[in-house]
Amino acid sequence: MSKLLISLFLILILGIALGSTVNSSVNISEVLETEDQKDSQANTEWRENLDSKEPVEATFAGGCFWCIEAVYENEKGIESAVSGYTGGKESTATYDQVLIGDTDHREAVRVNYYPSVISYEELLDMYWKSINPTDEGGQFSDRGYQYTTAIYTHNDKQYSLAKASKENLSESGKFEEEIVTEVLNASEFYRAESKHQNYSEKNTLQYKAYEQASGRKGFVERVWEKSPIS
């Protein structure tokens, strides 16, 4: 089932449930907007004492890029999180091409961050705790190579840290299965179409419905939430 159909189905159910259980005086849109404003304000305060250095790039593939982008958006120390396609040899990539496997790109997110505020190790921790690193066929309801997991590193330090982080997770015993997430050198990154950018913020209900129906939310809550890698 496509992401859109899953989202629409869940929204319909959610709408029925909300209509019967939520006080009519509560405006859902206003509540969501208020929360967004709080997040936005919290994410701007750290910039006041920021040094003048340029942000550093990091790239993560973890299945549907809507979900990985949502992990990093509005986090302190992160300048931007952009959905796109990477890892392929083709000189271009679009959503339709990648979706049907016409290219060997993965859906991915490029993060621009300030190491003085948030470390690469913290980004890695956030990444692991948003995926199933043992799934070699995709992520949750999204199947195919384009949805498999990989960490694309931009320099030797990132590569070493990513490899060490993967080894640490593997040795932690948290998963019985092998950790199959690849650690690779970063390659050309193609920005996804505008409708896919900031999807969780622009289409909050649709995103939440998809996240739930895909199985990702349940997995993250069951396996990762409040659970350190140890």
Task: Please give the pLDDT value at position 39.
Answer: 57
Give me the residue label for tokens 């969501």: 32
Q: Cβ distance 138 to 144 under 8 Å?
A: yes
Q: Which helix (H) or strand (E) holds 103?
A: none
Amino acid code (one letter) for 115 = P
Examine the residue annotation and report whether 67 is marked as an active-site residue of this protein: no
> What global pTM score does this model have?
0.81
Task: Please give the pLDDT value at position 19.
Answer: 47
Task: Please give the pLDDT value at position 211.
Answer: 97
Domains of the chain and CATH, by start:
3-10+55-224 (3.30.1060.10)
- Give, for all 230 residues of the chain, the pLDDT tens digit: 456 555 555 555 555 444 444 444 445 555 555 555 555 555 667 677 776 578 999 999 999 999 999 999 989 999 999 999 999 999 999 999 999 988 999 999 999 999 999 999 999 999 999 999 999 999 999 999 999 999 999 999 999 999 999 999 999 999 999 999 999 999 999 999 999 999 999 999 999 999 999 999 999 999 987 555 54
Task: Please give the pLDDT value at position 23.
Answer: 46
Based on its alpha-carbon atoms, the radius of gyration of the chain, rounded to whole angstroms, reads 18
Q: Cβ distance 67 to 216 under 8 Å?
A: yes
Task: Please give the pLDDT value at position 188.
Answer: 96
**HSE of 67 in the Cβ direction (CA atoms, 13 Å)?**
30
Q: Which of 64, 98, 118, 192 is catalytic?
A: 64
For 214-229, the pLDDT digits (tens) are 999 999 999 987 555 5
- Angle in degrees, 0-180, between the axes of helices 65-72 and 204-214, rounded to the nearest 10: 120
Task: Please give the pLDDT value at position 53.
Answer: 79
Q: Cβ distance 153 to 165 under 8 Å?
A: no
Amino acid code (one letter) for 59 = T
- Angle in degrees, 0-180, between the axes of helices 204-214 and 3-21, rounded to the nearest 10: 110
SS3 202: helix
Task: Please give the pLDDT value at position 26.
Answer: 46
Task: Please give the pLDDT value at position 32.
Answer: 52
Task: Please give the pLDDT value at position 42.
Answer: 56
Q: Could you give the CA distance from residue 103 to residue 33 in angstroms, rounded to a whole number?
A: 38
